[in-house]
């Protein structure tokens, strides 16, 4: 092998890595731009409602509703800031928790909307019209749904590109890669969380399929399409999360780590965020009663909050061990960068 051939062989891995990184950076920037475009109408609507303008119902002019609209406007503004962080170099210097925590909560709120938007949108409009909302609200509701879908698709895409650049070890290797610094603790917690998530998920699926055990007999008529779909969504994600949790901790059931990791991340966020939203919504004076029996509602809501937090804690333990094991390996196998020219002109 001559010198030119050896030089090309040395440079080709670096060129491949640079091309891949460039592609992910392009994806990050385009997805972030899409998020800004999609969320801006939602932000403007929420700001207008907070100010008491273009209200679909007189009830939304009350202080409680204005506080909710102000909070969601702040979340929309946070989504824009996150999108900018995911697409700019300064975003990789932001503390990890400041990025991960809001994205984790947002994932749980937006994923069900994205997957069920074709059905949830009309169901939401029908529910509000039954409650006496003005006709213009249907148009505003469609705009809100489009914004949420745009954010729900664009923000995760930007996050994936951002995370691959900042934490490449989280996306590489198989489920068996990693050391066992926290194996005993994470295995015990994973079994508890997986068992609870499976029980909660099957309960939600049972209710969504028409089961009435645990529901209030006097409120069965409140089980509208919106309630059935969200119950089914939460149940399916809980079951997927239980599977992903066992796979990531027992190292059996899948070859690539990223699939069960994504399942645990999404499932834990859906369980936590959806139940947190339900708990906060129930504190409103005009909150609609739930079909569940009060005791069953408290148990499932609190279980979702606790299990969601526990599942993501186990995932953090797994990622901690993988970082220790894979960071050194990646450093030793990284391609050799091209030599820089000597500024003195000598070789």
Q: Are residues 160 and 28 in the same domain?
A: yes
Ranges of the chain whose pLDDT falls below 50: 9, 11-17, 330-347
Say whether both 204 and 258 belong to one domain.
yes
Residues 20 and 121 in one domain: yes
Q: What is the pLDDT of residue 333?
A: 47
CA distance 145 to 272: 21
Q: Is residue 1 part of a domain?
A: no
Q: Are residues 210 and 324 located together in one domain of the fold?
A: yes
Regarding whether 105 and 60 lie in a shared domain, the answer is yes
Q: What is the pLDDT of residue 124?
A: 67
Residue 342 lies inside a defined structural domain of this protein: no
- Determine the pLDDT at residue 342: 45
Contacts 24+ apart (CB under 8 A), 135-139: 136/54, 136/56, 137/56, 137/57
Final residue belonging to a domain, choices 142, 166, 190? 166
List, for residues 42-55, the tens digit of each pLDDT value: 899 889 989 988 88
Do 183 and 261 reside in the same domain of the chain?
yes
Is residue 239 one of the residues assigned to a domain? yes
The total number of structural domains that make up the chain: 2
Model-level pTM?
A: 0.77
* Residue 148: inside a domain: yes
Query: In this predicted structure, what is the pLDDT of residue 253?
Result: 55
How many residues in total does the chain contain?
347
Question: Would 58 be classed as within a structural domain?
Answer: yes
Q: What is the pLDDT of residue 134?
A: 60
- Give helix 136-166 / helix 3-50 axis angle, nearest 10°: 150
- Identify the domain boundary among 166, 193, 223: 166
Structure tokens belonging to residue 245: 């949790």
* CA separation for the pair 288, 309 (Å, rounded): 27
pLDDT in tens, 143-162: 777 888 888 888 888 888 89
In a shared domain, residues 278 and 192: yes
Q: Would you say residue 4 lies in a domain?
A: no
Q: Are residues 184 and 327 in the same domain?
A: yes
Instruction: Write down which residue in 166, 181, 208 finishes a domain.
Output: 166
Q: Are residues 182 and 328 in the same domain?
A: yes
The closest of 5, 224, 229, 50 to 129, measured between CA atoms, is: 224
Same domain, 106 and 130: yes
Question: Is 310 part of a structural domain of the chain?
Answer: yes
Residue 27 domain-assigned (yes or no): yes
> Do 127 and 267 have their domain in common?
no
Structural domain boundaries, residue 89? 11-166
Q: Both 217 and 126 in a single domain?
A: no
Question: Can you give the pLDDT at residue 208?
Answer: 94
């Amino acid at each position: 092998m001559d010198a030119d051939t050896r030089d090309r062989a040395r440079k080709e891995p670096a060129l491949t890595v640079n091309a891949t990184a460039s592609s992910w950076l392009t994806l990050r920037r385009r997805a972030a731009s899409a998020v800004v475009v999609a969320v801006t109408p939602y932000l403007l609507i929420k700001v207008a409602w907070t100010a008491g303008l273009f209200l679909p119902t007189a009830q939304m002019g009350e202080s409680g509703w204005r506080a909710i609209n102000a909070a969601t406007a702040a979340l929309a503004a946070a989504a824009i800031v996150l999108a900018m962080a995911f697409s700019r170099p300064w975003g990789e210097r932001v503390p990890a928790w400041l990025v991960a925590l809001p994205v984790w909560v947002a994932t749980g709120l937006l994923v069900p909307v994205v997957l069920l938007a074709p059905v949830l949108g009309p169901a939401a409009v029908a529910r509000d019209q039954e409650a006496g909302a003005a006709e213009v609200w249907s148009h505003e509701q469609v705009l809100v749904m489009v914004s949420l879908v745009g954010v729900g698709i664009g923000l995760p895409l930007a996050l994936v590109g951002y995370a691959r650049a900042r934490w490449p070890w989280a996306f590489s290797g198989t489920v068996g890669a990693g050391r066992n610094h926290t194996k005993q603790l994470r295995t015990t917690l994973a079994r508890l969380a997986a068992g609870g998530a499976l029980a909660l998920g099957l309960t939600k699926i049972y209710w969504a399929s028409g089961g009435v055990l645990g529901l209030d007999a006097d409120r069965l008529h409140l089980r509208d399409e919106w309630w059935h779909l969200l119950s089914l969504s939460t149940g399916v994600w809980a079951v997927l999360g239980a599977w992903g949790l066992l796979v990531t901790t027992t190292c059996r059931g899948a070859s690539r780590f990223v699939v069960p990791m994504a399942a645990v991340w999404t499932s834990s966020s859906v369980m936590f965020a959806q139940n947190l939203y339900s708990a906060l919504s129930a504190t409103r004076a005009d909150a609609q009663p739930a079909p569940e029996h009060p005791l069953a509602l408290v148990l499932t809501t609190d279980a979702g909050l606790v299990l969601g937090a526990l599942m993501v804690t186990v995932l953090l333990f797994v990622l901690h061990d993988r970082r220790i094991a894979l960071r050194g390996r990646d450093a030793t196998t990284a391609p050799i960068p091209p030599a820089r020219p000597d500024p003195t002109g000598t070789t």
